[in-house]
Amino acid sequence: MMLPKPTDAIHKAWLYRLLAAVSDDSFLTANLRFKGGTCAAMRGIIDRFSIDLDFDLTEKDAALEARKRLEDIFAKLGLEIKDQSKTVPQYFLKYENKSGHRNTLKLDITFPPPANNDYEPVRFTEIDRVIYCHTIPTMFANKLVAIMERFEKFGTIAGRDIFDIHTFFIKGYHYKPEIIEERTGKKASVFIRSLREFVDKKVTQTVIDQDLNTLLPPERFNKIRGVLKREVVMFLGE
């Protein structure tokens, strides 16, 4: 996973420490499935920095034990729980860093995941671990849905979501339509048309710039920022 600037190295180190510790716990590895931007970046699928750890929880009955084991890991690593959700396992974890630098990472767990999600074992060479995670078509489909779902839930749009689906399209990956249909209740083709209209109307240059400028090196950011929306709209129309 790339580093936009040297000061991000400590955050990357903490992401890897925590992910390695989670993957060393047999209960967590049996019940959690790695996903999201950090997963995609570590697999070399997307070429940007990512700051959070995201997982699917496969069994609801495992939630309490998973929370207990995660909190034990946080304590052993010296991560402070800055905030957490009372309803789902979601944590904001603080680590020591210089003033003014990034010092918080989020760990988020989703339940229930879409029944149509597919998972596969992948070796993550940076931490020398094999972890079950989303397949590429599963990642792509969930990322497509996340753009509008984030807006519906929180009233926000993440430029990184636009960047990520652009990368999936550019690399010629396919998405799993059954996931889109399960999550939205619409045929995939209908949803894609609505997503194209949404991106065309709602995604602004400000949205792209504010989110992406900290996740890409300046040269890469300046190269992609001006074409990102136009090309995503084009890909969604094909």
One digit per residue, the tens of pLDDT, for the chain of length 238 reads 888 788 899 999 999 999 999 999 999 999 999 999 999 999 999 999 999 999 999 998 999 999 999 999 999 999 999 999 888 889 999 999 998 889 999 999 999 999 999 999 999 999 999 999 999 999 999 999 999 999 999 999 999 999 999 999 999 999 999 999 999 999 999 999 999 999 999 999 999 999 899 999 999 999 999 999 999 999 999 7
pLDDT of amino acid 1: 85
CA atoms within 13 A on the CB side of 228: 28
pTM: 0.94
From the list 105, 109, 91, 123, the residue with the least C-alpha distance to 36 is 109
Cα(first)–Cα(last) distance of the chain, in Å? Answer: 30
